[in-house]
Structure 1
Amino acid sequence: MYRRILVPLEHSSYDRVIIDHVRQLARLCGSSIVLIHVADGWAARNQQSLKLRESEEMRVDRDYIEGLCAWLRGEGFETESILAGGDPASEIASAADREQCDLIAMATHGHKGLQDLLYGTTANGVRHRTMVPVLMVRGPVGGRPRRSFAP
């Protein structure tokens, strides 16, 4: 059913929720997995236009996503990783098209009402920018943990 699944990661414990879900789905469908992290700090957003070197934040993010990619390969999955910089929703939607993914699977925080207005939602932005189906899996309730997922 799904040949290539794009999995946006945010370098937090929410990543475990979506990776656990996608591992089961990819195994069932025989799908390859494309991991993407969009660094959205100032250096990441301006790296190409200003010809900046990769920031420390981006180096840490690259190590993280490549480590997860290697772990998934060790689990028997065909996996690739992408580190992008800029607006997360736009970069995710563009990567889905460019990488010919037929599903975007992402964890959501489950904000409601005013929190959505204050914080915005990448998931909402992605679903408005793509024609690729978007699977949203709810992350843990009660805040936004910032520690990374380590397999």
Structure 2
Amino acid sequence: MYRRILVPLEHSSYDQVILAHVRQLASLCHSSIVLIHVADGWAARNQLSLKLRESEEMRVDRDYIEGLCATLRGEGFETESILAAGDPAAEISAAADREQCDLIAMATHGHRGLQDVLYGTTANGVRHRTMVPVLMVRGPVGGRIR
């Protein structure tokens, strides 16, 4: 059903929520997994236009996503990692097309009302920008993983 699953990660406890779900889905569908983290700090957003070196934040993010990629490979999954920079929703949507993914699986925070407007911009932006199906798995409210 799904050949390639794009998994946006935010370098938080919510990543484990979506990765647990994607592990099961990828096993059932024999899918490859493409992990993406979009660094969106000032240096990351301006790295190319100002020809800046990779920031410490981006180095930490790269180590994090490559470490998760190595863990998934060790578990037998075909996995790649991408570190992007800029607007998260735009970068995730573009990566889904570029990497020929047929599913985007992401964790959501479960905000309601005004909080959703303020904090739910990435998930909402992705679902409005892409024609690729988006699976949203709600993480625990408050970010506490048990």
Cα distance in 2, alignment partners of residues 81 and 58 from structure 1: 14
Q: Which residue of 1 aligns with 2:128?
A: 128
Residues 79-114 of structure 1 show CA distances to partners (whole Å, capped at 9, x for unaligned) of 000000000000000000000000000000011111
Cα distance in 2, alignment partners of residues 118 and 71 from structure 1: 33
TM-score, L = length of structure 1: 0.93
Q: Which residue of 1 aligns with 2:70?
A: 70
Q: Is the Cα contact below 8 Å between 2:109 and 2:120 reproduced in 1? A: no
Q: Which residue of 2 aligns with 1:29?
A: 29
Cα distance in 2, alignment partners of residues 109 and 118 from structure 1: 12
Deviation at 1:118, TM superposition (A): 2.4
More off after superposition, 45-54 vs 114-123: 114-123
Unaligned runs of 5+ in 1: 144-151
Cα distance in 2, alignment partners of residues 138 and 78 from structure 1: 25
Q: Which residue of 1 aligns with 2:102?
A: 102
Unaligned runs of 5+ in 2: none
Q: Which aligned pairs between 1:1-151 and structure 2 lie closer than 5 A?
A: 1-143=1-143
RMSD of the alignment, in Å?
0.7
Residues paired across the two proteins, number = 143
TM-score, L = length of structure 2: 0.96
Q: Is the Cα contact below 8 Å between 2:7 and 2:104 reproduced in 1? A: yes
**What percentage of aligned pairs have identical amino acids?**
91
Cα distance in 2, alignment partners of residues 105 and 118 from structure 1: 21
